[in-house]
């Protein structure tokens, strides 16, 4: 029982990491209808910037995260500009998918060339060893895991407030619901797209850092995270923040709890099989609308 409880809590933490990756991708896809595959590579750059600023320059985390935020916003908006040019030259969405996959691979390899292809110890460079922040009976939740959960919930709440309560959020939702009508009423769609890529990249920025804290930072960390985030977004429902969050927690718990009954080598197989079954049986996702 104690092992199951610990795995459950670990699954929620794992789900929060997935949610951070998925929420930015979900926002970008739901508003712009762009399969932004390079999203994973971009947020991995943020983790490398944080590692480099702290480990090499010896600067503090606040400066590291500020520079990382600038990097992901610039890369996100640059990709929007690239996709806009591709749409004008070739309206088919498949060309954009190929371009996004290509730029993601380029970014991933450039990160390896600049920072090295070896696995980086993010924890040692930034916060040091983990400490037991909370103990509830047999369950131990390190401080870093508590922070991961708190940041995830806070960012989802903040993004929900922005989408519902601000003028920018209203414009994003208008373009999301009906791009043609949004243009008719005077909303500048290209500007909304650029803002969407900036916000989507920014909210997902902490994801690779938290993933790196748990298992080290490598050049493939972004694409690995995107594999689950892609299915989570569609399983949760396109455009649904709550659906994305719930699906992410479900996947995280599923990943850890399967360790009770199967070998860890089967973890990915079981997870993806169940997610594909869900998407097949419920195309609209848990709470959203059909893709």
Establish if 32 belongs to a structural domain: yes
Give the pLDDT score at 256: 87
Average pLDDT score over residue span 169-188? 92
Q: Is residue 291 part of a domain?
A: no
Q: Give a yes or no: residue 243 inside a domain.
A: yes
pLDDT score of 143: 86
Say if residue 38's pLDDT is above 70.
Answer: yes
pLDDT at 2 over 80: no
The per-residue pLDDT for range 142-155, each reduced to its tens digit, is: 888 999 999 999 99
Mean pLDDT, to the nearest integer, of 31-46? 95
Around Cβ 215, how many Cβ atoms within 10 Å?
A: 12
| In-domain check, residue 133 | no
**Residue 118 pLDDT > 70:** yes
**Any idea what the CATH number is for the domain that residue 267 is in?**
1.10.3470
pLDDT value at residue 114: 94
- Domain membership of residue 44 (yes or no) is yes
Report if residue 121 sits inside a domain.
Answer: yes
Provide the pLDDT confidence category of residue 129 given band limits of 50, 70 and 90. low
Look at residue 36 and tell me if it is in a domain.
yes
What mean pLDDT is reported for the chain?
88
pTM of the model: 0.91
Answer whether residue 287 is part of any domain. no
Percent of the chain's residues with pLDDT above 70: 94
For residue range 198-222, what is the model confidence (pLDDT) as tens digits? 999 999 999 999 998 888 899 999 9
Q: Please tell me the total count of domains within the chain.
A: 1
Q: Give me the domain span that covers residue 203.
A: 2-127+139-281
């Amino acid at each position: 029982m104690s092992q199951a409880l610990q795995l459950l809590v670990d699954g929620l933490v794992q789900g929060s990491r997935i949610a951070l990756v998925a929420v930015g991708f979900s926002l970008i896809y739901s508003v712009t209808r762009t399969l932004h595959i390079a999203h994973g590579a971009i947020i991995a750059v943020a983790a490398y910037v944080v590692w480099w600023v702290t480990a090499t320059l010896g600067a503090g985390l606040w400066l590291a995260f500020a520079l990382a935020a600038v990097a992901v916003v610039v890369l996100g908006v640059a990709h929007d500009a690239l996709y806009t040019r591709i749409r004008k030259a070739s309206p088919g969405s498949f060309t954009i998918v190929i371009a996004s996959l290509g730029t993601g691979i380029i970014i991933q390899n450039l990160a390896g060339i600049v920072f090295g292809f070896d696995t980086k110890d993010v924890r040692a460079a930034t916060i040091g060893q983990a400490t037991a922040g909370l103990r509830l009976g047999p369950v131990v939740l390190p401080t870093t895991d508590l922070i991961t959960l708190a940041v995830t919930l806070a960012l989802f709440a903040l993004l929900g407030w922005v989408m519902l309560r601000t003028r920018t959020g209203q414009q994003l939702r208008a373009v999301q619901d009906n791009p043609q009508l949004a243009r008719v009423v005077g909303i500048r769609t290209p500007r909304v797209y650029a803002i969407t890529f900036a916000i989507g990249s920014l909210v997902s920025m902490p994801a690779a850092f938290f993933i790196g804290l748990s298992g080290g930072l490598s050049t493939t960390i972004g694409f690995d995270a995107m594999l689950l985030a892609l299915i989570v977004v569609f399983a949760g429902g396109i455009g649904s923040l709550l659906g994305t969050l719930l699906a992410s927690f479900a996947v995280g718990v599923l990943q850890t709890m399967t360790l009770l009954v199967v070998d860890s080598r089967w973890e990915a197989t079981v997870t993806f099989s169940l997610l594909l079954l869900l998407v097949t049986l419920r195309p609209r996702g848990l709470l959203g609308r059909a893709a």
